[in-house]
Amino acid sequence: MAKEEKPLKKVCIICAKGSIEDVYATLVMANGAVMEGIEAKVFFTFFGLDAITKKQFKKLKTATVGNPAMRMPGGLPFPSLLGVLPGVEAGVSAMMKSQMEKLDIPPVDEFLDMIVAGGGEIYACRLAADMFKLEMKDFTEHVKGILTIGEFYELAGGDNTQIIFT
Amino acid sequence: MEKIEVKGISIELNEEGFLTDSAQWNNDVALELAKVEDIELTEKHFDVLNFLRDKHSAGETLTIRKVGKSGIVDIKGLYDLFPGGPLKKSSRIAGIPKPTSCV
């Protein structure tokens, strides 16, 4: 790969959804950034807050209903009606997690540890926190603060910065 | 293709600065490669480099998490040893190919 003349310096990643794949997309990108020496600021909002909420981060799920890309192991179609059965969503989610563990992708809290260890910063959205009645004490220790979107944009200044919405 | 001279031996690097032949690696090569990154290698650095080389020769995919669980250094410590590229820079200095994992 040829060297980029103006390499990326900072990514600001916004995660507004709380399913396993949305949260992990955010975590992989944030961790991948710090591992490349790129500054990373992550802003969790709306349902994305589950990823940094003490009571919720271990319970993330993949949607088995309304997910057209969902397939059975082996590739057969996954009937939506099956997805509504009790335990199916939990089973599918457990499988997603075990597949990721095999690739050495850590659980959410450990992933956040890794990002913070690399200098990445984790923030919660003020509006969504107010809406869901969440405060700093409800969030994992990785969370540096609760910010308004304006404050988040202040962190997003500077050359070669990208904002990514997952 | 780039070349560096270490103690009279010519070492070939690919365009990203990784050794093309991992077998050419030795401590002097590591010291030379580390200079490019402005890193002064300590014993701790070499512990990490040797761990990476062992895992690589065992055919394992390297991740930052694996190094963090090695007992040699935690992830924060790894960032301190190889600032700005814990896995990439350490792999380069360890003379092994660029890591292929996303974590």
Residues B51 and B90 sit within 8 Å (Cβ to Cβ): no
**Residue A5: pLDDT band with limits 50, 70, 90:** confident
> CA-nearest residue of chain A to B87?
A35
What's the token pair of residue B81?
A: 């040893």
SS3 call for A5 = coil
Nearest of B43, B70, B41 to residue B55 by alpha carbon? B70
The H-assigned helical ranges of A41-164 are: 80-83, 88-102, 108-117, 126-131, 149-155
> Containing domain of residue A140, as a range?
10-62+112-165
User: Residues of A82-94 as b/e, b for ≥16 C-beta within 10 angstroms?
Assistant: ebeeeeebeebbe
Q: Is the ipTM of this complex over 0.90?
A: yes
Q: How far apart are the first and last CA of chain A?
A: 26
pLDDT, tens only, A64-85: 998 999 998 899 999 989 999 9
Q: Which A residues in the span 74-103 are in contact with B, Cβ-Cβ below 8 Å?
A: 103
Residues A12 and A44 sit within 8 Å (Cβ to Cβ): no
Per the structure, how many domains does chain A have?
Answer: 1
Q: Chains A and B: how many Cβ contacts under 8 Å?
A: 47
pLDDT, tens only, A138-162: 999 999 999 999 999 999 999 999 9
Partner A contacted by B15 (CB < 8 A): yes
Of A35, A110, A113, the CB nearest to B86: A35
- Residue A45 maps to which CATH number? 3.40.1260.10
Is a pLDDT exceeding 80 seen at residue B1? no
Phi, psi (rounded to 5 degrees) for B64:
-65, -30
Of B16, B61, B85, the CB nearest to A37: B85
Q: Is residue A5 part of a domain?
A: no
Question: How far is residue A139's CA from residue B47's CA, in Å, rounded to a whole number?
Answer: 36
**Residue A4: pLDDT band with limits 50, 70, 90:** confident
Domain boundaries, chain B: 2-93
**Residue A1: pLDDT band with limits 50, 70, 90:** low
Partner A contacted by B66 (CB < 8 A): yes
Partner B contacted by A107 (CB < 8 A): no
pLDDT, tens only, B11-60: 999 999 999 999 999 999 999 999 999 999 999 999 999 999 999 999 99
Residues A129 and A49 sit within 8 Å (Cβ to Cβ): yes
Q: Is residue A84 part of a domain?
A: no
- Catalytic status, residue B85: no
Nearest of B54, B12, B80 to residue A117 by alpha carbon? B80
Is a pLDDT exceeding 70 seen at residue A42? yes
% of chain A with per-residue pLDDT over 90: 89
Q: Is residue A87 part of a domain?
A: no
User: In chain A, what residues touch B103 (CB-CB under 8 Å)?
Assistant: 28, 31-32, 103-106, 114
